[in-house]
Amino acid sequence: MSAGTLNISEIFHSIQGESSFSGWPCAFIRLAGCGHGCFGCDTVYAERDGVTLEVGEIMQQVLAFRAPFIEVTGGEPLLQPAVHTLLRQLCDLDQKVLLETGGFLSVEGVDCRVHKIIDLKPPSSGVCDQNNPENIELALAAELPLRSAFEFKMVLAGRDDYEWATSLLDEYRLTDSFTIMMGVAFGKLDPAELAEWMLRDRLRARMQLQLHKYIWDPAMRGV
Ligand code: SF4
């Protein structure tokens, strides 16, 4: 692949389902490839080869949706160096750009205009020990207003995950500075149970559901 091309799994128009932007119409660019191997990954199909497209062609397709937000996701989008060209060029066109990353690679070098949604993978993911601590450090080191371009997302499958999450939030005092989106792995943890824990603990985090999985068939692609 040349420096100006990306391996793309799909480009589609949907409702943003998992972040503080949940509910907004959004155009998505899903990059192919990840290899992180989280248990319960809901985009395993993005592991397979996608199609190679020039950055210009990708921009043309995604801009055609005229969506208020454009999200670059995966797979793991940060595995492909040309993603930085894509992100920068979208920002140069004054697009509101979101990047969703699995959190095992550093977001250093991502254009500061991009809103970064960073996963913190809990124990049930099987890859909890691979959360990249640099991302928390970079976020904490950022001055305002750049700090507000970071948010963290935790998708929990049970009580052990919740206890891990609250202890991480305490350790770095993340809720003092960032939006923390806390949700349930679809079908694995009852949302009412998570809500009860969050309320009981007076947790300063936002609860979320994977909205697209309630609107459409949870196994559906391209949403
Ligand atoms: S980081 Fe995301 S895309 Fe990669 S395996 Fe984990 S859940 Fe799937």
**Ranges of the chain with pLDDT below 50:** none
Q: What is the pLDDT of residue 219?
A: 85
CA pair distance 202, 211, nearest whole angstrom: 24
Under 8 Å between Cβ of 28 and 85: no
Domains and CATH numbers, the chain: 5-215 (3.20.20.70)
- Looking at residue 149, the DSSP 8-state letter turns out to be G
Q: Which of 20, 120, 1, 10 is nearest to 69 (CA)?
A: 20
Q: What is the pLDDT of residue 33?
A: 97
Q: What is the pLDDT of residue 2?
A: 61
Q: Is the CB of 105 under 6 A from ligand 1?
A: no
For 88-105, how does the pLDDT look when each residue is reduced to its tens digit (9 = 90+)? 999 999 999 999 999 999
β-sheet bridge partners, residue 182: 154, 207
- Strands (E) across 23-110 are located at 25-31, 51-54, 69-73, 97-101
Q: Is the CB of 38 under 6 A from ligand 1?
A: yes
* The model's pTM: 0.96
Burial class (CB in 10 A: 0-12, 13-18, 19+), 73: buried
Q: What is the pLDDT of residue 221?
A: 87
β-sheet bridge partners, residue 25: 15
CA pair distance 49, 27, nearest whole angstrom: 21
β-sheet bridge partners, residue 51: 8
102 C-alpha vs ligand 1 centroid, how far in Å? 6
Residue with CA nearest ligand 1 atom 7: 41
76 C-alpha vs ligand 1 centroid, how far in Å? 7
Residue with CA nearest ligand 1 atom 3: 75
Under 8 Å between Cβ of 71 and 16: yes
Structure tokens belonging to residue 101: 């990353």
CA pair distance 205, 216, nearest whole angstrom: 26
